[in-house]
Structure 1
Amino acid sequence: MPSWVKISAASALVLAALFVGLASWDNLTATAPAPDPVRRHDVRIVRDTWGVPHIYGKTDADVGYGIALAHAQDDFRNLEETLAAVRGRAGALLGEEGARIDFAGALLDARAVADRRYTTLSMPTRRLVEAYAQGLNDYAASHPGEVRLRGLFPVTGHDVVAGFAMRSPFFFGLDRPLGALIEGKLPPRDAGPADERGSNAFAVSARRSDDGTTRLIVNSHQPWEGPVTWWELVVHSDEGWDFAGALFPGAPFPLLGHNRNLGWANTVNRPDLIDTYKLVMDDSGTKYRFDGKWLPLQSQRIWLRVKVGPLVLPVPRTVYRSAHGPVIVNDQGAFAIRYAGIGDVRQVEQYYRLNKAQDFGQWRAAMAMQAIPGTNFVYADAKGHIGMFYNALFPARATGFDWKGVLPGDTSKTLWTRYLPWGADPMVVDPASGWVANSNNHPFVATAPADNLKRADFAPELGIETFETNRMHRFAALFAGINGPISRDALLRIKFDKGYERTGTAKAWLDKVLAVDTRKTQGMAAAQRLIRAWDWTLDGDGPADSLVVALFGTVGRQSYRGEPLPPAEPKLREVTDLLMNNFGRLDVPLGDFQRLRRGTIDLPVIGGPDALRAVYGDIAADGRRVGNNGDGFVMLVEWPAVGSVRSETIHQFGAATTRTGSPHYADQSPLFVSQRFKAVDFDFGLSQAVPKP
């Protein structure tokens, strides 16, 4: 266990003796906050053939209550863990890794910020999050055998809001500088998340399609299991909330998808929205210098609750804060972190308004709130409007400083307090090309070359990424190859494409692999021969596909972080040995090597790292690569020239996220691996007389 949470053996024995026969320190000391007012909610939950819930309420708050009930029916485990993290009790469930989450939450002061800023939210938003919390409480009360933490329930609307405030900065990479500083290192200079949080999004306008239909593809890549995996739903209320899409545990509304008139997809972007400051401390270590004055470094003693065997034990830590934000003290000094959206809790407000927007103007007005500090939005609507919005809450930074490095913390010149307006963000709206796309790349390739933005038009202080993906190069080439109208089939061929462009990291990595001297290693020489003959497509037909997938998979994280590629010779040896030891051959069919596994289901899945048909995975005990990230929830939305919106979706597993005994635990997996959709009956259940749950 790392030193930051280490418990001495003697202390552990003493504590264990104290708690023999008792539940744990966590259960003994846990207390829940005062509950929200309990209200009656008029809601119906109807599940379609695939178990996807369609939730109907008289009010939006009724729907929020129903969302909580339905999601808990499918995935109470992840909901409970999400709420435990908000309450600083993830360590009580998950041990050391959970304690890291708790420390981060305490450092960001997310719950206190939510408490202070809660009344800045509109009354409809507060009613919604409180109804959602009540739904979780009612489910927990009626299913006590599923509750693992005593005193966690009842939860409140404040907890829901705090969850958004806590998780938001980690989507644009707060974990990287924070983790480095905790380990006693300097933060990396490049921005962005630590792992392969990829996504694709595409929109084609009615005037560019072959049938007058505007189309949107939602294709956000997330882990296939855990607290940020997608859960599908459709909602309707008599207050005009109609939406089909998906959400993460802890969200009281869909985070992407469509209503009758418009919709959007999201992809993670990587703007530099985080700054690190080196503080000048006095000899006592309790004050820091700022504009010539010595200011007190705020400190707070916290107790991490860490599961150790059958017990949950207290581990003391101290968190610090300065005028800049949270502070980490390590052997190299005291470092403060400031990030976009610090102190803001309006993320729930903005997402709710986006759900309720009925036209492009209302949607853009909601975006101008700037409460969602980072993530790309690809938009489309029934009027034929499309757009790619590089949404980022850019700090108003002064010129003359190295904003990617560690900044001087003793001057207000580096301490930004304002943001640029949303209109300053890079955005491509209704381009002449008739299409927009994003695959976690910089915003200067978003459509056809003639309509793209120019990097020179944006100040370097914004910190806009330079990152390019194979998926970006691929969609640009594929769209460029369509000279006339873009049909539905052509758009889907782009989305499910498994090819690689002979440029960027893919080419650089294979060039390194092919440069390895293999004259004395017969197996590796044979591997190189297969790679040289590879057709640059992971379609499952080529003899080199499994070998290439394995090679790309070994460098995915470095590539995503923009780190130097590792030495090629040991990686080539590693994957050669992997295939030979487990299959006795190098030309293993990709479907035999790469699998989707869920319960008793074990299916071939085709695609690969950083392909538009993205599949990431880990090597299992039997030597096969088992998918765990990438393409998951995929939605195709269409607004035809005549008629109502229609959509189709697919999920890598099914609606019953953690319910192994449910028929919907993995019923969509056969469709998923064959790249087929199921229809969304947007108005399913409207006329059905279904008892309230």
Structure 2
Amino acid sequence: MRARIAWGLASFLLVILVGLMTWEPFFAPAPAAPAPRSYSVQITRDEFGVPHVHGKSDPDVAFGIAFAHAEDDFATLQDVAAMTRGRYGAIAGVNGAKVDFAFHLLDARGTVRRRYAALPADTRALLDAYAAGLNTYAAKHPAEIKLARLFPLNGRDIATGFALRQPFFFGLDNVIGALVGDTPLGADNGPALDGKPLPDYEHGGGSLIPAAVDPIARPGPLPIGEDAALAGSNAFAVAPSRSGDGVTRLVSNAHQPYRGGVAWYEIVVESDNGWHMAGALFPGMPFLALGHNEALGWTNTVNRPDLIDTYKLVLDGDGSHYRLDGKWQPLEKLRVWLPVRFGPLVLPVPKTVWRSIHGPVIVNREGAFAIRYAAIDSIANIADYYHLNKARNFAEWQALMAKHPLPSTNFIYADRAGNIAYLYNAAFPVRRPGFDWRRTLPGDRSDLIWHETVRSEQVPHYLNPASGFLYNANNTPFRAAGKGHDLDPAQTSPLLGVELDETNRSRRAGRLMDATNPIGRRDLHAIKYDTGYERTAEVAWMLDGIARLDVRNDPVLSKAQALIGGWDLRADGRNPGDALAVMVLKDAMKTSYQHTVPPDPRAQLEWASSHLMKYFGRLDPPLGRVERLRQGPGKYRIDLPLDGGGDTLRAATSWNVDPKDGRLLIKHGDSFVMFIEWPQDGKVTSRSVQPFGAATTRPDSPHFTDQAPLFAAHRLKPVHFFAADVTAHAVRRYVVSNR
């Protein structure tokens, strides 16, 4: 009898185990293929493996973009695709389930369901074609698929990726993370951005599910893309009047993670319908995010406009209704199940999401908070962003920018006519005066629910300043064109919430560009790769704090203090204090940009000194021994020295510490770098480089790391833009179709 019971129990547990290993694909939404259509594209790979995609139509090219990208990084593209279905937790576990929670909370799929048909036909055709390219690759390589029933994809899936991810570039993840953690946004929460209290990310609680299982039990930013909005990005534009040789120059240096869902992918595209552009895009994008066509180019840097408002709702007794203009409205409530992978098992975790007329709602111990953010319930900007790729002059480009092709991020522009421009792009809501929009608003007044955006001419912008140059390094737009040529902040409405702070990179760039005349090719290269710190703000505060420490009874700290005292304020690897200084300053450099609590000088000095002594046996190892560009294993493994630091123009923003040898493995900072030039004859040329290569997740490919030596040495490779140049440097050429 006991044996039968034991056998029955074991059989029952086995059934449960098998069920937890296999249930998720069967309960996932059924995938739907795009409308049947044939695509054909020619892909040419150059000596660095960069794909040059040519097709008869724009949809053919979008099909080729997806296929070429999948050849180089199908794993990441699948992650992004899973996000658009609310299934990322089945791949990435708890971190993925956080993204899935955001997917349901923001109703990303619902936005697409409501708005997709209103997209222009050419944009829908592009999205469908891109999905078909991924489907074709998946069909040809079934062994690489890591989540059952993920394919086929369609254009709505691709559009959902935009609806889900774009708000997180202006900080929506921080607000969601804080509210999930029961942080009252209207209270005094410490450091502020222009007076707006920031969430206390150490505050926890608010979940009924144990933290070991609950994917959102702990607050904090959601991993939509690793470090999606970390401090970083430089941009420079130089007009012919300042270049010394009549050349118009644009430098794109958008800092992103080296790997993952928001890592850059370089590509050149050309269709017979007039789409011809070189630059880079993110996984899941069917067009380029930045770069140049024959006539013009642009790049981006992250800005920090106030595009998010929170409202505290007044609920009725049972929490099923909220009050609005004296009447009770039903609070929408939806139970969702998040798939969370733990090893071979995928656990179904229940969560509840709410919505009001304001937008998504989070209910915590402090009450119910509604969130409204720029481009809420909209995907119209996808079409404008695509059409931006095909703009032929500044007037066309400017008209598209007026529609906000992105809800946020700065745009820095240049063209063959010699124009340079900078637009502090942001879809600012038209807010009612008389309220403190920096704090939580009353949720029972409909007149505080905005619906329109501020006209683009009302936000800070520059066109052809007399200085002949423009720059941005994630700083206030009121420092961009040099002394005597910057905008006056008093001319911009404080209701917009435009940031006023600077970064070390912006201070450094402004000083160097002001002092350099003319700014030629070599000068601009030297400025972009500058490793210097300005001894002001957080740098001065930290160095002065270390100088004041009493470390007479600690020989190691005394020597460390002396090294810092003799440091030359450069992270170029030439001073014995470089490695120590870069480590000591890393967290301090985040203080102004991310508005965190300043680190303690003694604690920073102790940590950095201890680390260097433990792993290197000395306080003054060369910087290049400590900072490394590492990718492997395999035949094409690389391990190279790097320079630069946190918030230097040669950016090494963040790192992982290798526990075996203590090296700082740079994972974010300088990523895709592109120098673009229009000489007086107007024929564009460009050069570029990436940290590793075109095939970042293919260890057996020679393009896994072939750009790394150039990247480490501050060198660039040519971009083959025109057909004759592409042919001359073709290493492999092939046709792909879904016929």
In the superposition, the TM-score normalised over structure 2's length comes to 0.90
Q: Deviations over 1:99-123 (max 9, x none)?
A: 0000001100011101210111111
Two-structure CA RMSD over aligned residues (Å): 1.7
* Residue 507 of structure 1 pairs with residue 545 of structure 2: no
- Post-superposition offset of 1:19: 4.1
Question: Partner residue of 2:213?
Answer: none
**Structure-1 residue corresponding to 2:657:** 619
**2:563 matched residue in structure 1:** 530
Q: Is 1:633 the equivalent of 2:666? A: no
Q: Greater shift after overlay, 191-200 or 239-248? A: 191-200
In 2, the alpha carbon distance for the partners of 1:452 and 1:22 equals: 60
Q: 2 CA distance for matches of 1:665 and 1:348?
A: 31
2:442 — aligned with what? 408
Secondary structure of 1:485's partner? coil
Q: Counterparts in 2 of 1:233-632, with a 5 A limit?
A: 233-482=267-516, 484-599=517-632, 600-616=637-653, 617-621=655-659, 622-632=661-671
SS at match of 1:446: coil
Residue 645 and residue 315 in structure 1: after superposition, are their counterparts in 2 closer, same or farther (change >3 A)?
same
Q: How has the CA–CA distance of structure 1 residues 16 and 325 changed in structure 2, closer, same or farther, with 3 Å as cutoff?
A: farther
- 1:444–1:15 Cα change, 3 Å: farther
Contact 1:31–1:152 at 8 Å: present in 2 too?
Answer: no
Q: Per-residue displacement from partner, 1:479-530 (whole Å, max 9, x unpaired)?
A: 1112x32111111111000001111222122222222221221111111111
Q: Is the 8 A contact 1:164 1:347 kept in 2?
A: no
The SS at the match of 1:20 is: helix
For the residues of structure 2 that align with 1:47 and 1:330, how far apart are their CA atoms? 53
Q: Residue 522 of structure 1 aligns to which amino acid in structure 2? A: P
Which amino acid counterpart does residue 644 of structure 2 have in structure 1?
A: G
2:243 match: secondary structure = coil
Match of 1:8 in 2: none
* d(CA) in 2 for partners of 1:14, 1:666: 50
Matched, 1:152 2:188: no
Q: How far is 1:232 from its partner? A: 0.3
Does the aligned pair in 2 maintain the 1:209–1:487 contact within 8 Å?
yes
Unaligned regions of 5+ residues in structure 1, if any?
Answer: 1-12
Structure 1 distance, partners of 2:248, 2:317, is: 65
Superimposed CA distance per residue, residues 168-221 of structure 1 (whole angstroms, 9 cap, x where no aligned partner): 110011011110111111346537988533100000011211111000000000
- Of 158, 164, 167, the residue aligned with 1:166 is 164
Per-residue CA distance 1:80-135 (angstroms, 9 max, x = gap): 00010110000000000000000001100011101210111111111111000000
Deviations 1:325-370 (A, max 9, x none): 1000011111111101101102321111110001001101111112
Who is 2:133 aligned against?
135
Question: What's the offset of the Cα at 1:280?
Answer: 1.0
- Structure 1: which amino acid aligns with 2:601? A
Which aligned pairs between 1:11-26 and structure 2 lie closer than 5 A? 17-20=15-18, 23-26=21-24
Secondary structure at the residue paired with 2:138? helix
Task: Say which SS state the counterpart of residue 451 (structure 1) adopts.
Answer: coil
Amino acid across the alignment from 1:504: A
**Which amino acid in 2 is paired with 1:52?**
V
Letter in 2 for 1:248: F
**Displacement, 1:388?**
1.1
Superposition pairs of residues 144-223 of structure 1, within 5 angstroms: 144-187=142-185, 189-190=192-193, 196-223=230-257
CA contact 1:297–1:321 (8 Å) conserved in 2: yes
Aligned residues, how many? 680
Deviation larger for 124-133 or 404-413: 404-413
Q: Is the 8 A contact 2:45 2:733 kept in 1?
A: no
Q: What residue is the counterpart of 1:84 in the other structure? A: 82
Secondary structure at 2:379's aligned position in 1?
Answer: coil
Bigger mean CA offset, 91-100 vs 294-303: 294-303
1:651 is aligned, of 681, 684, 690, to 690
Q: Helix, strand or coil for the counterpart of 2:656?
A: strand
Asked whether the 8 Å contact 1:133–1:156 carries over to 2, the reply is yes
Distance 1:502 1:21 in 2: 61
Q: Post-superposition shift, 1:35?
A: 1.8
Q: Which residue of 1 aligns with 2:713?
A: 674
- Is the contact between residue 25 and residue 314 of structure 1 (CA under 8 Å) also seen in structure 2? no
Normalised by the length of structure 1, the TM-score is 0.96
Which is worse superposed, 520-529 or 249-258? 520-529
Q: Offset at 1:308?
A: 1.9
- CA distance in 2 between counterparts of 1:360 and 1:161 reads 27
User: Of the candidates 71, 74, 77, which is equivalent to residue 73 of structure 1?
Assistant: 71
Q: Which amino acid aligns with 1:614?
A: A
For the 8 Å contact 1:196–1:560, the answer to whether it is kept is no
Once residues 405 and 681 of structure 2 are traced to their aligned partners in structure 1, the CA distance between those partners, rounded to angstroms, is 35
1:265 partner SS: strand
Matches of 1:149 and 1:116, distance apart in 2: 27
Q: Is the 8 A contact 1:305 1:314 kept in 2?
A: yes
Q: Residue 328 of structure 2: SS of its match in structure 1?
A: strand
Unaligned runs of 5+ in 2: 1-10, 199-220, 222-226
Structure 1 residues 497 and 16, CA gap change in structure 2 (3 angstroms)? farther
1:49 maps to amino acid: E
Amino acid at match of 2:33: P
Cα distance between partner residues in 2 of 1:121 and 1:295: 31
Instruction: After superposing the two structures, state which structure 1 stretch, 425-434 or 517-526, moved more.
Output: 517-526
Q: CA deviation at 1:14?
A: 8.2
Distance 1:691 1:51, change over 3 A: closer
Which residue of structure 1 aligns with residue 38 of structure 2? 40
Q: Output the CA distance in 1 between the equivalents of 2:20 and 2:505.
A: 54
Equivalent AA in structure 2 for residue 634 of structure 1 = V
Deviation at 1:690, TM superposition (A): 4.2
3-state SS, counterpart of residue 267 of structure 2:
strand
Q: Distance in 2 between matches of 1:674 and 1:562?
A: 33
Corresponding residue SS for 2:257: coil
1:22 CA displacement = 7.4
Structure 1 position 231, deviation (Å): 0.6
Amino acid at match of 1:260: E
Q: Is the contact between residue 344 and residue 371 of structure 1 (CA under 8 Å) also seen in structure 2? A: no
User: Aligned partners of 1:531, 1:669: CA distance in 2, in Å?
Assistant: 30
One-letter amino acid matched to 2:606: R
Conserved in 1, the CA contact under 8 Å of 2:538 and 2:588? no
Equivalent pair of 1:165/1:347 in contact (CA under 8 Å) = no
Q: What's 1:49 paired with?
A: 47
Residues in 1 aligned to 2:123 and 2:267: alpha-carbon distance in whole angstroms: 19
d(CA) in 2 for partners of 1:201 and 1:333? 42
What letter is aligned with 2:414? A
Structure 2 CA distance, aligned partners of 1:109 and 1:197?
28
Change (3 A) 1:22 1:409: closer
Q: Secondary structure, in 3 states, of the residue corresponding to 1:44?
A: strand
2:104 maps to 106
Could you tell me whether the CA contact under 8 Å between 1:24 and 1:313 is conserved in 2? Answer: no
Partners of 1:387 and 1:371 in 2: CA distance: 16
